[in-house]
Structure 1
Amino acid sequence: MSKPAFRVIDADYERDLALLRAVREPVFVIEQHVPLALEWDTLDPECRHVLALDAEGRPIGTGRLTPMHTIGRMAVLADWRGKGVGDALLGRLIAQARAADWPAVSLHAQIDAIGFYRKHGFVTEGGIYIEAGIPHQSMTLDLTSHGN
């Protein structure tokens, strides 16, 4: 059985806002009950965004890289989870951070996603905390080593 066809592109916040919304709102606002006012912030226009698109060009996943060297708003539509979309999105964001010569990148992982990020070399830091009503754990990836 072949993997479903999708591609990851660099997105432009203003041009691709409707595509970003088509992923982030169903995942965060509808599924996870994050208030809409918390989902969209003033940082969004300053971030580098990536989009995963299916074979027909429909948005299926997204993530962002902030100026503070963090990865955030990683989301994949339910029907596409477990099919490599999150791996491809995270890989693209890590590659962008490396290209910018960042020494490390960090993120706030939802507890259920810690294993996913560990698989990519992230390590946990500190204790568990609540963000937008959801338990999270801070994680960091050292970009100075060559194994990631």
Structure 2
Amino acid sequence: MQYQVKLFHALHPDSAEIRKTVFMQEQGFQQEFDEIDSRAVHAVVYDGDRPIATGRLFTERPGCYVIGRVAVLPDYRGKHVGNAVVQALEAWAKEHGGKLVSLSAQCRVSGFYEKLGYQKTNDTHMDEFCPHVTMEKKL
């Protein structure tokens, strides 16, 4: 199946809807949106006209980017759609001088990121009620 990835330089309504569905309604997070959304690059994956996955990318310091809020609608999980989100954001970071990408993965899905070349650090922490681990990848 062919999907299209679009990048936006502000929070797009399609991205917001996916995040509400996955993180707030499905997983129970309350603090989903923050000030980073206004300065992040947002990727949205489309199946035709239907938005099906999203993620965001922002910089913490020169050469270092952070991927976050990667979400895939339930019907599309296991179909490599999440890979498309991460790869599009990594490509943007690399094109803009990125040397390192980090992310805060829910511990239960850290294996997904390991398959994409990310390595766990010793930093584990809670995000609301959910255990997370910081992971990194050199570009």
TM-score past 0.5 threshold: yes
Unaligned runs of 5+ in 1: 144-148
Secondary structure of the corresponding residue to residue 42 of structure 2 = strand
Write out per-residue CA displacement over residues 34-93 of structure 1, whole angstroms, 9 at most, x where no aligned residue.
00xx101011010011000112x1110000001221000000000010111101111001
Looking at structure 2, the residues matched to 80 and 11 of structure 1 have their Cα atoms a distance apart, in angstroms, of: 21
Identical aligned residues as a percent: 36
Matched, 1:53 2:46: yes
Runs of 4+ in 1 over 4 A off after TM superposition: none
Unaligned runs of 5+ in 2: none
| CA shift for structure 1 position 32 | 0.9
Matched, 1:7 2:8: no
Write out per-residue CA displacement over residues 76-119 of structure 1, whole angstroms, 9 at most, x where no aligned residue.
00001011110111100111111111110100001121111111
User: Which has the larger share of strand?
Assistant: 2
- Partner of residue 132, structure 1: 128
After superposition, the CA RMSD in angstroms is: 1.2
* TM-score normalised over the length of structure 2: 0.92
| CA shift for structure 1 position 127 | 4.0
* TM-score normalised over the length of structure 1: 0.86
Matched, 1:33 2:33: no
Total equivalences in the alignment: 135
Looking at structure 2, the residues matched to 12 and 142 of structure 1 have their Cα atoms a distance apart, in angstroms, of: 23
- Partner of residue 114, structure 2: 118
Flag the structure with larger Rg. Answer: 1
